[in-house]
Structures are given as C-alpha cells and as structure tokens.
Amino acid sequence: KYNIRYIDDKSYPYIQITNEEHPRLIVLRTNKLNERAFGPYPNVYSARKTVDLLNKLYPLRKCSNLQKEPCLYYHLGQCLGACLNQGPIDYKPHIKEITRFLKGDNQEVINKIEKIMIEAANNFEYEKAQEYKEMLDHIKLTTEKQIISLNDLKNRDFIAYVSDENMIAIEIMMMRNGSIIDSKQVVFNYVGTAEEAILSYLDQLYETQVFVDELVFSSNFNLEELNLRFKNKVIIPKIGDKKKILDLAIKNAENNLENYFILNQHKSDKKLKIEKAIKDLFGKNYNRIEAFDNSQLFGTAPISALIVYHNYEFQKKEYRKYHLNSAPNDDYEGIREVIYRRYYRLLMENSQLPDLIIIDGGKGQVSSAEEVLSNLNIKIDVIGLKKNAYHLFESLIYQGKEIKLKKNDPLYHFFASISDEVHRYAISFHRSIRTKENYKSPLDKISGLGPKRKQLLLRSFNSITEIKEASFEDLRKLGLPIKLINEIKEVLK
C-alpha cells in the first residue's frame, strides 16, 4: 500500500523580496533564499495572486530588466521609475509594510479589499466582487498560516466550523511536518442539524483513510461522535498552541460565512430592487433576457454577438456568435438577419424563447427586430439600448419611446451591465475574426486549391507576386488543372 502524505519530492513556492538596488517581489521554488523570503506555500496560484495584489499597492520595480523609458506601471503610480535615473530611491518604508503584511499583519489591506468588494456588489459588478472575495481567500491562505508552527514535525488537520440557521462554513488548516502549509474553506447549505451536516461532510472527506497523525477539532464538535469515526486520532484542545490555531481557523470560518452572506445578501437585495423596478416600468417581470450587439470594422467581417441573462445571472454557456451575410454597412439588415436566424431556429427546435430581447441600438434597430419577430408570429418585448457619443449607455428605447434613467437608478446599472457584457463579448469575437483575417493568404480565396497544392505553389515560387506573374505553362508544369490555373489567375490579377 502507498502511504499518501503531503511529503513528496516537489519544492514549495516562496514569496521573496529581492536584494537588488531596486527590489522586486517574486514567487520562486528554490532552497537558495534570502532573509526576506516568506513561505513555504503549497499553492503557487495563491502566492502569485498575493504578489499581484502587493504590486498594485506598493510601487516596487515590476520589470526584470530596467527599461530605457518609463512603462505603464510608472504612469499608473505602481512603480517609482527606477529607469529614470533620478537618484537613490528609498524602498524601506514599502518593504517594511510588505514584510508586516506577509507576516500576517494584514487587517488594513483586508479592510480595503472588503470595502471594494461591497462597493462592487452594490454596483451590480458581481464578478468583480467575487474576484475580490477570492483575493481575500488567497491572502488569508498565504499569510495567516505562518503564525504558528509546532516542533514535533507531525501531520495534523485542524478542523473548525461555524453555522447559522441555513449555512455552514468549514475551515481546515493543514499542518505538515509541524508547519501550517495549506487550508481548505467550504461554505454550503444544510438541512437538519449543523452537527449532522458537518459530520456527513467529514465522513466523505476522510472516506477511505485518515493520512494524518492527528485530527484537531474545535470545541463545538462532539468528542464521542468523533472517536467513533476516527478513534485515537482525535483531540479537542482547551489551551496551548493547538487551541490558538483552532481559534484562527474559527475566525477564518466566521469571516468566510460573513463574506458569503455579504455577497449573496447584497445580490439578493439588488435582485428584488431590480425586479420591482422592472415591474413598475414595464408592468411585467423578465426572467430570461437575450441581448444582441452587432460589430464591424470599416465594412469588414460583420458579426453579431448574443448573450443570455437568466435568473439574474449571465449564462455564458449559452452565449452565441454569428457571422453575418448581410451588407456590412447596413446595421438594420444585420439586426434583421441575426434575429431571424436566432428565433427561426428556436421555433424549429421548439426551444425556450426569451421574455425580453435587448438590442444594442436606437429606434431603427428596435423596429427592425420587431419587424422580423412579427413575421415569425412571435410576441416578445424588444428594448433598445441607446448610446451617447462616447458609446456609453444613455437611455432605453421601448415601444417607440425613449426612457431616460438616472445614473443612481438600479435599472440604469442593470441595463448598463448588460450593455457592457454584450459589447465586451462582441468586441472580443470581432478581434479574433480580424486577427484571423490578418493571417489569411490570397491563396485561401481560391476554390479548389487545397493544402497540398498550396504548399506546392509556395515551394515552387518565392512569393505571391511570382505566382501571380507565372506563365500558364509554368503552372501547368506543376500538374495543376487548367480550371484551377484560370481561377488562380482570376483571383490574383
């Protein structure tokens, strides 16, 4: 049998402040460390996320080699401009604060991030709020675990949980060889009692075998129940370093439960406000929304992007991309084409239709969409998102009328978020199309010219110009059919 332990031949990552004249923050795996190295950390992703955060907060050098001119970081205030040669730069205050942070004194930074997270949730920027929540998790993982270590070199799991009427937050801090090197956080709903739910979770987690020397539990566990499951590996300390580690685990679990509640409570409150505002304005609720944005560049590569918003969540798996066949400069015809293709197909497949269709455009685009829906005998409300001169959402177009919304109105933020998302998706799609177009060869436009014949031409001639100027006889010598030679001459003329 194999003894599955956290003891293997891999090296763990460290966060290090370099000893250079203009120091940097780096993540590295090595035993050659300076006195300003912090770790080890088993999760390199968390360490890198923490370095990214510190690089945003403290203006240390970012580039591996000094540049000749100041880079973007200097203009963003995230670098002191060592490349400008303005004389000695005092990094000591920044290094002192970074060192304090990595040793666990991070409450000030955590408070700032929590504030940003709540503001993002208030502004309907749920993905940004989730990003900052994950950042908090990474910070806790890479700093708090350094506070206490034990000298007996044993492997332990420290397990604590907190709960309310509906939710449980579990924190498991993993000690290997006497040092806390990793942690696991879980928040989930439960039915019944919290004690039954947490024991069921642990039964699944340690289903096969407990590969640690000791399981250390917080005092809200039942010792008898634990001994039935894990026998002589269980301890519930009342004093000492183990108790201190458990106190930290409890604190982490409380913070995780609180952060989960903040994000989801704000999200729930905003949903109710949006639902009420939509009902007040339109007289009905919209549960499934589909939004379109057409894009083209100087009459080339016209496309349309579709996003789906269902149950107040962006359903990215249902996003769709369309290459348009209509005239590139005819936006109205582009709307007609994509609306017809989308909803004719849904009708043929007997698929779910949306409650609301949103078009990125004004009255003309909305009318074009309504015309197609009418021809398909589909009755769905259509709203236009009118933009200002800076291409920012300005007002709604509904039933031929323009509806202005105040910028502090929840509906303004709601429709602006949809506008931003569909525009982002359309632009990313269109950029990928333009990139592919840039790498296309004129030979790609010749029907009947496959990869082998294309390679034959490129090996026989040094350039497209030489192929273009080649005589009929030269091309026949390569074994090309007469019809294909005529096609080559026609395309390259």
Question: Tens of pLDDT along 230-281?
Answer: 877 899 999 988 998 999 999 999 988 888 877 776 777 778 888 899 999 9
In a domain, 72, yes or no: yes
Cβ atoms 172, 232 nearer than 8 A: no
Residue 317 domain boundaries: 288-438
Closest CA to 227 of 238, 218, 237, 236: 236
Question: What letters, b where the CB count within 10 A reaches 16 and e where it falls short, cover 367-388?
Answer: bbbbebbeeeebebbbbbbbbe
393-to-122, 285, 304, 415 alpha-carbon distances in Å:
19, 22, 18, 8
pLDDT at residue 12, rounded to an integer: 59
Which of the pair, 208 or 17, is modelled with greater confidence? 17
Residue that is written with structure tokens 């920044």 in the block = 94
Q: Which of 122, 144, 166 is the last residue of a domain?
A: 144
CA 233 – CA 215 distance, rounded (Å): 6
Joined tokens for residue 8: 């293997």
Q: What is the pLDDT of residue 438?
A: 53
With a CB cutoff of 8 Å and minimum separation 6, the contacts of 266 are 118, 121, 122, 129
- Across 39-43, 78-82, 341-345, 455-459, which has the greatest mean pLDDT? 341-345
Chain-centre distance for alpha carbon 488 = 46
> Is this prediction's pTM over 0.75?
no
pLDDT of residue 141: 60
Tell me, what's the pLDDT at 9?
38
Residues 368 and 455 in one domain: no
What is the Cα–Cα distance from 118 to 128, expressed in whole angstroms? 10
In a domain, 282, yes or no: no
DSSP E strands: which ranges in 166-220? 167-176, 179-189, 214-217
Residues 359, 318, single domain; the answer is yes
Give the alpha-carbon dihedral of 49, 51, 53, 57, to 10 degrees.
180
In a domain, 280, yes or no: no
Cβ atoms of 421 and 315 within 8 Å: the answer is no
Both tokens assigned to 48: 């890198």
At 37, the pLDDT band (50, 70, 90 cuts) reads confident
Mean local confidence (pLDDT), 300-305: 82
Q: What's the average model confidence in pLDDT over 395-416? A: 91
In a domain, 283, yes or no: no
128 and 153 together in one domain: no
C-alpha 42/C-alpha 429 separation (Å) is: 37
Beta strands in 311-392 (DSSP E): 313-314, 320-323, 356-359, 381-387
Of 262, 296, 315, which residue constitutes the final position of a domain?
Answer: 262
- With tokens 């007469």, the residue in question is 482
Is 155 found in the same domain as 137? no
For residue 456, pLDDT over 60 is answered with yes
Q: Clarify whether residues 315 and 403 are in a common domain.
A: yes
For residue 350, what are its two tokens? 């007997």
Q: How confident is the model at residue 286 (pLDDT cuts 50, 70, 90)?
A: very high
CATH code, domain with 416: 3.30.420.340
In a domain, 42, yes or no: yes
**Residue 254 domain-assigned (yes or no):** yes
Q: Which residue has 């460290």 as its token pair?
A: 14
Separation CA 265–CA 271 (nearest Å) = 10
Same domain, yes or no: 112 and 18: yes
338 in Cβ contact with 363 (< 8 Å): no
Question: Which of the listed residues 405, 422, 438 is the one where a domain comes to its end?
Answer: 438
Shared domain for 217 and 300, answered yes or no, is no
Same domain (yes/no): 189, 248: yes
**How distant is the alpha carbon of residue 203 from its chain centre?**
32
Q: State the Cα–Cα distance between residues 414 and 426, nearest whole angstrom.
A: 19
Q: Are strands 300-310 and 288-297 parallel, antiparallel or unpaired?
A: antiparallel
Mean pLDDT of 301-312: 89
Same-domain check for residues 256 and 322: no
Domain count, the chain: 4
Q: What is the pLDDT of residues 352-387, one digit of tens each?
A: 999 999 999 999 999 999 999 999 999 999 999 998
Chain CA centroid to CA 181, Å: 26
Look at strands 381-387 and 393-398 and give their pairing.
antiparallel
Q: How is residue 415 written in tokens? A: 């429709």
Q: Is the pLDDT of residue 144 over 60?
A: no
Is residue 98 situated within a structural domain?
yes
What is the predicted pLDDT for the residue at 151? 67
185 is a domain residue: yes
Find residue 26's DSSP bridge partners: 16
Give the CATH number of the domain where residue 240 resides: 3.30.420
The answer on pLDDT for 67 being more than 90 is: no
Asked if residue 93 has a cis previous peptide bond (ω within 30° of 0), the answer is no
| CA atoms of 482 and 209, how far apart (whole Å) | 74
Share of the chain above pLDDT 90, in %: 28
* Model confidence band, residue 320 (pLDDT cutoffs 50, 70, 90): very high
For 110, the token pair is 């955590």
Task: Please check whether residues 71 and 116 belong to one and the same domain.
Answer: yes
Residue 74 has pLDDT above 80, yes or no: no
- pLDDT score for 122: 86
Contact 314, 303 (CB under 8 A): no
426 and 292 assigned to the same domain? yes
Q: Is 172 in the same domain as 310?
A: no
pLDDT digits (tens, 9 = 90+) for 418-453: 998 998 888 888 777 765 555 466 777 787 788 888
